[in-house]
Amino acid sequence: MTIVQNLGQKSESGIQLPAPQAINGGEAVAYAMGQIDPEVVAAYPITPQTFIIEKFSEYVADGTVNSEYINVESEHAAMSACVGATAAGGRSQTATSGPGLALMYEMLWVASGMRLPIVMHLCSRSFSAPLNILCDHSDVMGMRESSWPMLIGASPQEAYDQAVVMPTIAENKSVLLPVANVLDGFTVTHSVERVEVLPDEVVKEFAGEYEPDIWALQPGSTATFGTLDANDFYFEHKRQQVEAMKNSLEVVRTQLNAFGEISGRPMNLVEEYLLDDAEVALVVLGSSEGMVRAAIDQARKDGIKVGMLRIRLFRPFPVQDVRKALEGIGAVGVLDRAIAFGTPGNGLMQDLATSTRTMPDRPLLMDFVYGLGGRATPKQLFRQAIDQVVTMNESRVEPDEPAYLGLK
């Protein structure tokens, strides 16, 4: 690819590194897609995903990739095209955001039910109405039960790194599921930052080749996909998906470790910040983690022993990793960037409550809703949350209702 300029820098493992790029999260994802060069990319433009497909279609037009780019008429068609391409034995990728994901919803289940290792880059965005194009996790929560392993990054660098790893999770023979690389709309997609990229040949080697064995709809294959499966075996097929999702957890761990060794940038299923001696903690998804850490640094100066747990692997939810990280913590504030209307707890809160319920000394939990529709997430917001969690830890009384941070 032409934008890689080799400055002759050397990493510790002796790999020639291209110069770091000043690119945004969307362009970083497109960069990784260009290096992986999937057979088919099918997408429909939607803010804030547009950087990804604008950049990728430039690669196609310039001939720096061999991919077939299909500019489809809708997101439903985008996922349908990926389903067809992957069933035929090719690698396929797509990218979307909020309402686009909603329009794709039927096909999300078709992709996972047909066990097709498609990669989707989801630029998290709120749902209309009222019309809002900015970041929250309504779309993330909207697909969480569709049998897609989901990784949520926090920066353009992580969006790139995860994008390189994603196909290797999806295509693992013990998984064979579509996977989602989530990057926060605007705060990651539009944030131009220093991104360390890997050489093309290193990414190509890491991602390997997609080799569908019996699965592809190809001459000589006896496979069939997505046929009528009424009350005879539908239940059994869904039960098999449960196992595939379970299997994916250790595959994600292995692949993140393998990538970390190559890149020197370790990634884990959950990321901890100052949890070792913490009495209270906040749990968060995605790019708000930076300001959560800033709030923690400030609170620590005031003598509050607080830490953070960031969930990178959102599906399958890493129950054991979360329990281990929260062992010995008295009270936890859960930061939810979406409302699960009418439920007894919002999305991440539900996961924390069910994950911790059988711990011998489970931490008390308190839910916070924040940042809906792109509402600002300064560190003062999370400082408020820390102070409320400290109060709960002293009173030992869990509130029934979530608190709303930054609500006017």
Partner 1 sequence: MDKRLPIEVRWHGRGGQGVVTASRILASAALKGGYYLQSLPDFGAERSGAPIAAYTRISETPPIDRGPVYEPDAVIVLDASLIGQVDVETGLVDDGTIIVNTANPDSPALRRLKLKPGQQLWTVDASKIAIELIKRNVPNTPILGVFARSVPVLDIDTMSQAIDELMSETFPPNIVEANLKALRLGHDQAQEIQAIEVEVSANA
List of residues contacting partner 1 (CB under 8 A): 20-22, 133-134, 155, 157, 184, 186-188, 190-194, 287, 290-291, 293-294, 374, 376-379
113 three-state secondary structure: helix
Answer yes or no: are the C-beta atoms of 284 and 312 closer than 8 Å.
Answer: no
- For the bound state, the minimum distance from the C-beta of residue 291 to partner 1, rounded and expressed in Å, comes to 6
208: left (phi over 0), alpha (psi -120 to 50) or beta: left
Q: Least distance to partner 1 from the beta carbon of 383, Å?
A: 14
Q: Which is nearer to partner 1, 112 or 287 (by Cβ)?
A: 287
Q: What is the C-alpha to C-alpha distance for residues 400 and 408, in angstroms, rounded to an integer?
A: 21
Nearest-approach distance from CB 131 to partner 1, in angstroms: 10
Q: Which is nearer to partner 1, 51 or 215 (CB)?
A: 51
Cis peptide preceding 318, ω within 30 of 0: no
Q: How far is the CB of 191 from partner 1 (least distance, A)?
A: 5
Rg (CA), the chain: 21
Nearer residue to partner 1 within complex by CB, 157 or 356: 157
Residue 275 to residues 127, 251, 288, 354, Cα–Cα distance (Å): 34, 25, 17, 21
Q: Give least dist CB 284 to partner 1, A.
A: 13
Q: CB–CB of 112/147 below 8 Å?
A: yes
Q: Which is nearer to partner 1, 184 or 351 (CB)?
A: 184
Q: Closest CB to partner 1 among 171 and 184? A: 184
Element of type H or E holding 302 = none
For residues 85 and 199, give the distance between their C-alpha atoms in angstroms, rounded to a whole number. 27
**HSE-up (13 A, CA, CB side) for residue 64:** 18
Closest approach of partner 1 to the CB of residue 194, in Å = 5
Structure tokens given for 293: 């850490």
Q: Which of 241, 224, 244, 242 is nearest to 87 (CA)?
A: 224
Between 183 and 366, whose beta carbon lies closer to partner 1? 183
Residue placing its CB nearer to partner 1 in the complex, 221 or 384: 384
Minimum Å gap between C-beta 265 and partner 1 is: 11
